[in-house]
Amino acid sequence: MTHARDLALPHGYTDLLGDLKSRGQAARPRAVAIVITGSNAAGVIARLEWADRDAHLNGKG
């Protein structure tokens, strides 16, 4: 059986992954702003989840 760590990555995969990570990080502030300005229940839940996640990542949760 072949383990995942033994498989070769396709050419350009690391560049693609880096680009996707950069795009995701760049899009997050806009997504947060959209959710924060929303007053629906989903927006409230998302704000609470993000606040909890950020507190945990910053060692405060």
Residue 16: predicted pLDDT? 92
pLDDT 10s digits, 22-46: 998 888 888 777 766 766 677 677 7
Handedness of CA 31, 32, 37, 42 (dihedral sign): positive
* Among 26, 25, 43, CA closest to 34: 43
Residue 1 pLDDT class (50, 70, 90 cuts): low
pLDDT 10s digits, 12-25: 998 999 999 999 88
What's the CA gap between 23 and 3, in Å, rounded? 30
Residue 60 pLDDT class (50, 70, 90 cuts): low
Residue 54 pLDDT class (50, 70, 90 cuts): confident
